[in-house]
Amino acid sequence: MKIHKEGRKIILIEIAILTLIWYFFPELNILLVILILFTMLTIYFFRVPNRELNIKENNVYAPCDGKIVVIEKTIENEYYKDKRIQISIFMSPLNIHNNLYPISGEIEYTKYHPGNFLFAWNPKASTKNERSTIVINNKKISILIRQIAGALARRIITYPKKNDQVNAGNELGFIKFGSRVDLFLPESTKINVKLNEKVIGGKTIIGIY
């Protein structure tokens, strides 16, 4: 296990504050205990496990750890403007929060949208909250991934740029402190997960194309 690069600065600041309080105000025992616990929680949140991924062609992999909260056919209005299968994965603050590419291919579209901070399980979160949209296309499939901020998550990190070549299982980005990821897949995709199922990023097969 390692600490994600997006969390290292935050953790160093917390440790510095903790050290200063311990050095100058050692009598503040309760505050020190609270800060130690908070720092430990931050370290836990930004953890990244070492995983052996067995990526195979024609599979759409989970882009994150979490729980399936939506499986439905819907109109995707931002990019495709047609009917797609929407799969939504809710990430609690205790889940791993780095996001992975579900398939290999070329980045066809990226766009960041400022917005609200509704709870991630709210159906309106997909179009109302702060979010980042990425479209990946290869010779066999085109899919849309949407990183969505939740009530606690107020910063979305998205690494790819248009025309980048990416590989399934590699890191796409990070969402801080509780959030959701939506996938929009072609109607022909064979869905391999069920509602309320727990999924593991880069390992669980969401669908087959």
Task: Give catalytic residues, as residue numbers.
Answer: 179
Give the Cα separation of 42 and 75 in Å (integer): 37
Residues 6 or more apart whose CB falls under 8 angstroms from that of 20 comprise: none
Given a contact cutoff of 8 angstroms between Cβ atoms, the answer to whether 90 and 66 are in contact is yes
- Which strand (E) or helix (H) includes residue 24? helix 5-24
